[in-house]
Amino acid sequence: MKIKVGFGFDVHQLKDNHPFIVGGVKLDHHRGAFGHSDADVLAHAICDALLGAANLGDIGHHFKNTDERWRGISSLILLQKCVQLIGEKGYSVGNIDAMLCLEAPKIKPYIDEMRKNIAEAIGGDIEDISIKATTGETMGYVGREEGVVAYAVCLIQKQQA
């Protein structure tokens, strides 16, 4: 079996009275992430981790923010497309470990639903999806609630004859 590891990072600006979608879940908060798609920072970081592990570039290479096909699209659809891309190279997802960095809202009540959404999008098992969260301790753009950050690592695997 051949295995590879990928790393992903994403950041989005937060704006007042804007939807806040993370892991396919709409968070109850007065600010939300802004972007061309639904700005799901978690799904974007996972996409980059998967694409990087398979040496397929990054999310911007495949889903340009100038392409109207992707405007407002659910990032879970982009994640499904990334799994298809790595599948075309013979890989499947082993596991995903992700970290969200945001000051508010608290993420713990949403984590199980996020894990379920990500698992469904990749066609995997919820037990292979780990999502954690931390704050910026009121420091920097995360601490001032100006932005949200996500990091992700993944393992992809290919059966070899």
At 90-117, the pLDDT tens digits run 999 999 999 999 999 999 999 999 999 9
According to the model, what pLDDT value does residue 31 have?
A: 95
Q: In whole angstroms, what is the distance from residue 105 CA to residue 103 CA? A: 7
Q: In whole angstroms, what is the distance from residue 131 CA to residue 112 CA? A: 9
Residue with tokens 């990054």: 58
Torsion of CA 98, 135, 76, 1, to 10 degrees: 0
101's tokens: 């960095």
At 69-81, the pLDDT tens digits run 778 789 999 999 9
According to the model, what pLDDT value does residue 3 have?
A: 96
Q: Coil, strand or helix: which one is 35?
A: coil
Mean pLDDT, the chain, whole residue set = 95
- In the chain, the N- to C-terminal Cα span, in Å, equals 8
Annotated binding residues: 10-12, 36-37, 44, 58-60, 63-67, 134-137, 144
Q: Report the pLDDT averaged over residues 23-30.
A: 96
Residue 67 has pLDDT above 80, yes or no: no
64-90 in b/e form (b: 16+ CB < 10 A) is eeeeeebeebbbbbbbbebbebbeeee
Q: In whole angstroms, what is the distance from residue 46 CA to residue 8 CA? A: 6
- Domain range list for the chain: 2-158
Tell which wins on pLDDT, 160 or 35. 35
pTM (2 d.p.): 0.96
According to the model, what pLDDT value does residue 161 have?
A: 63
At 114-156, the pLDDT tens digits run 999 999 999 999 999 999 999 999 999 999 999 999 999 999 9
Q: Report the pLDDT averaged over residues 10-34.
A: 95
Tell which wins on pLDDT, 44 or 73. 44
User: CATH classification of 2-158, choosing from 3.30.1330.50, 3.30.1490.20, 3.30.70.20, 3.40.50.300?
Assistant: 3.30.1330.50
Annotated binding residues for a divalent metal cation: 10, 12, 44
> In the 3-class helix/strand/coil scheme, how is 124-144 assigned residue by residue?
CCHHHEEEEEECCCCCHHHHC
Q: Report the pLDDT averaged over residues 7-30.
A: 96
